[in-house]
């Protein structure tokens, strides 16, 4: 077996064993990993406690045990309210992306290999103990030769190879699940894994994070209330990122903020406006706005850090969001359904009447509430629950957008419980709608539409000629694929295997009974008892295994 294949097989077996250890055997079956653990070893290896773990807790523990890529997958899924019920979201949100720090000598070796000079020449001071250590990299405080204080982020040695191996394996498992599990295809699990892989690979590239920081700095160049750290490109590569150090009070340290004399309501409004500008004006937003990434500097300026995860709302998506908001404002359920589906959420047949009814109730529940009483988190969670209930698929950037708005509201509420982010929305929504309906913009769009129509008209005769020629030659083929049979076939295979195993067990029992009564050879009577005992033991083990497999499957 080639080394790469052997390594993949070992990793697949490890994944299967971890899932089984946490009572997630159904995932082993869905992902086609049974062949790697034929005897289902290691079932009871997780930490014990008096009260049993819930299924979401087991999933979180399994992901933590599997390492960096799987922790990131759990954090990614925690944002997907369109895919997972709230209990799983809450538990996966607890995933800690922390890891034991890499020794300082290894980190310095990476820096020297990347930047081509000894650390002692690159920095006037370099702290070997990290400020923070995560599964992908760790951050160290340092001082440049000119006295500038910086933070140096260094990617962990070997993490890319491990992540790439796991991403490749994840994609294989997703394809397998899509063939055997109808919901996996309904929710486009392959597409979700591909989106996750793009997101994670972007986080691994510190050059991209540096460019993200510079883009935020450009967007807020005229806003003195925001401080985006400067990137030092001469000290930056894909594995090393050197940023200006932000100093201040963490925004969730309320005692320190009060002691310093800051107005927390004013700070809440400032943070909310920063994030609203990112979402509704710039279309480029910080997708991980938790309190640890916001600092309040001595003059009240808000400093931001960690630009590895960002979201983008492009022009067409902003247009569709504007249509959705307009339909909401007009309480038009039919237009609301159209705008909702145009966001790209429909992958297959959608029951428009049921969706229309759900959206109508949604509008009625929230429409007449004063903005000062409106909380965005339950509103957005209900919208995402509708998406999940109708088996729709929300593009990742829209999920990140909803998550960012909810986190902004939570952050503002922590600073000032009486502050409502919803009161800021009308101004941003109004500007978004005005931008969409600017006459100059419509003229530009109509000109492009005219060019596309002309191009289509020129291409149409050629396309029709090809179609008719293929029809005349008998080469026209229609591809059809029956859906829904794969899970049934897989279930029948499992049922057949268990039936055969049960028949074998019954045959052993009957055979042993017959032998006990009929097998009477002179001279070996004393062996009959031990032989029967051995046979009975083997039969009992086989029967116990059969019962265990049936109980584990959840189908008796």
- pLDDT tens per residue, range 97-144: 667 899 999 999 999 999 999 999 999 999 999 998 888 899 999 999
Q: CA 391, 397, 401, 406: dihedral to nearest 10 degrees?
A: 60
Instruction: State residue 556's pLDDT score.
Output: 46
Q: Quote the pLDDT of residue 82.
A: 72
Which residue's entry shows tokens 């001279």?
523
Query: What residues contact 39, with CB distance under 8 A and at least 6 apart?
Result: none
Name the residue among 273, 216, 221, 283 with its Cα closest to residue 436. Answer: 283
Rounded Cα distance between 444 and 437, Å, is 11
Q: Which neighbouring-strand residues pair with 227? A: 303
Which of 114, 95, 30 is CA-nearest to residue 487?
30
Digit-coded pLDDT (tens) for 513-536? 665 665 555 555 556 667 667 766
73-80: average pLDDT: 83
* CB 148, CB 124: distance < 8 Å: no
pLDDT tens figures, 6-31: 777 888 888 888 888 887 877 877 77
| For range 435-450, the mean pLDDT | 61
**Number of residues written out for the chain:** 556
pLDDT tens by residue, 171-205: 998 888 887 777 777 777 888 888 889 888 988 99
Q: How far is CA 291 from CA 152, 198, 300, 398, 414, in A?
A: 21, 25, 16, 21, 10
Question: Helix, strand or coil for residue 250?
Answer: strand
Kindly tell me if the per-residue pLDDT of 217 is higher than 70: yes
Residue for token digits 């201040």?
248
Range with the poorest average pLDDT among 98-107, 429-438, 477-486: 477-486
The C-alpha atoms of residue 60 and residue 56 are separated, in whole angstroms, by 6
The whole-number pLDDT of residue 42 equals 43
CB atoms within 10 A of CB 322: 18
**Measured distance CA(240)–CA(157) in Å, rounded:** 11
- Where are the domains positioned within the chain? 1-97, 98-245, 251-437, 441-471, 490-553
pLDDT in tens, 152-177: 999 999 999 989 999 999 999 888 88
Q: What is the mean pLDDT of residues 300-307?
A: 94
292 secondary structure, DSSP code: G
- Residue-level pLDDT at 389: 83
Structure tokens at 295: 């600092």
For 247-256, how does the pLDDT look when each residue is reduced to its tens digit (9 = 90+)?
Answer: 999 998 999 9
Section 304-328 average pLDDT: 83
The residues annotated with a catalytic role in the active site are 288
Q: What is the pLDDT of residue 130?
A: 94
pLDDT winner (highest mean) among 37-51, 383-397, 453-467: 383-397
As a whole number, the mean pLDDT across the chain is 80
User: Does position 212 have pLDDT exceeding 60, yes or no?
Assistant: yes
Per cent of the chain over pLDDT 90 is 28
Q: 421 CB contacts (<8 Å, ≥6 apart)?
A: 272, 276, 376, 405, 408, 409, 412
Q: How many CA atoms lie within 13 A of 130 on its CB side?
A: 22
By DSSP bridging, strand 284-286 and strand 302-304 are: unpaired
Task: Give the integer Cα–Cα distance in Å for 9 and 75.
Answer: 26
- Kindly state the percentage of the chain with pLDDT values over 70: 77
Q: What is the pLDDT of residues 234-244, one digit of tens each?
A: 999 999 999 99
pLDDT top residue among 352 and 268: 268
Give the pLDDT score at 306.
92
């Amino acid at each position: 077996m080639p080394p790469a294949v052997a390594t993949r097989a070992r990793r697949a077996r490890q994944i299967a064993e971890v899932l089984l250890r946490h009572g997630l055997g159904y995932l082993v079956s869905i992902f086609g990993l049974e062949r790697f653990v034929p005897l289902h070893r290691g079932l009871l290896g997780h930490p014990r406690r008096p009260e049993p773990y819930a299924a979401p807790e087991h999933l979180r523990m399994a992901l933590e045990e599997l390492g960096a890529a799987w922790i990131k997958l759990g954090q990614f899924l925690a944002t997907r309210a369109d895919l997972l019920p709230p209990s799983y979201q809450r538990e996966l949100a607890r995933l800690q992306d922390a890891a034991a720090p890499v020794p300082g000598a290894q980190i310095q070796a990476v820096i020297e290999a990347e930047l081509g000079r000894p650390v002692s020449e690159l920095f006037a001071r370099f702290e070997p103990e990290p400020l923070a250590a995560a599964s992908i990299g760790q951050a160290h405080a340092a001082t440049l030769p000119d006295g500038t204080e910086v933070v140096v982020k260094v990617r962990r040695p070997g993490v890319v190879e491990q992540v790439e191996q796991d991403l490749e394996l994840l994609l294989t498992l997703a394809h397998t699940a899509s063939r055997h599990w109808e919901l996996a295809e309904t929710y486009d699990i392959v597409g979700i894994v591909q989106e996750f892989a793009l997101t994670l690979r972007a986080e691994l590239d510190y050059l991209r994070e540096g460019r993200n920081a510079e883009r935020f700095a450009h967007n807020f160049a005229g806003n003195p209330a925001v401080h985006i750290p400067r990137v030092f490109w001469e000290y930056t590569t894909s594995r090393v990122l050197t940023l200006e150090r932000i100093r201040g009070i963490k925004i969730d340290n309320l005692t320190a903020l009060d002691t310093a004399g800051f107005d927390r309501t004013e700070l809440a409004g400032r943070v909310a406006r920063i994030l609203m500008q990112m979402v509704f004006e710039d279309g480029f937003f910080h997708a991980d706005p938790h309190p640890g990434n916001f600092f309040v500097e001595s003059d009240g300026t808000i400093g931001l850090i960690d630009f590895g995860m960002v979201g983008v709302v492009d022009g067409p998506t902003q247009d569709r969001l504007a249509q959705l908001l307009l339909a909401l404002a007009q309480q038009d359920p039919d237009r609301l359904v159209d705008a909702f589906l145009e966001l790209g959420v429909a992958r297959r047949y959608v029951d428009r009447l049921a969706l229309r009814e759900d959206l109508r109730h949604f509008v009625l529940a929230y429409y007449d509430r004063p903005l000062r009483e409106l909380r965005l988190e339950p509103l957005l969670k209900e919208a995402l629950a509708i998406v999940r209930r109708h088996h729709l698929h929300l593009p990742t950037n829209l999920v990140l957008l909803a998550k960012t708005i909810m986190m902004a509201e939570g952050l503002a509420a922590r600073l000032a419980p009486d502050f409502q982010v919803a009161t800021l929305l009308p101004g941003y929504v109004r500007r978004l709608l005005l931008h969409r309906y600017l006459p100059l913009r419509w003229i530009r769009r109509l000109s492009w539409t005219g060019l596309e129509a002309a191009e289509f008209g020129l291409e149409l005769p050629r396309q029709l000629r090809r179609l008719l020629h293929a029809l005349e030659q008998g080469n026209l083929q229609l591809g059809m694929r029956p859906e829904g049979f794969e899970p049934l076939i897989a279930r029948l295979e499992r049922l057949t295997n268990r039936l055969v195993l049960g028949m074998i067990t019954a045959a052993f029992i009957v055979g042993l009974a017959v032998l006990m009564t009929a097998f009477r050879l002179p001279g070996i009577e004393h062996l009959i008892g031990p032989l029967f005992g051995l046979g009975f033991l083997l039969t009992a083990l086989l029967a116990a295994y059969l019962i265990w497999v049936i109980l584990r499957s959840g189908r008796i």
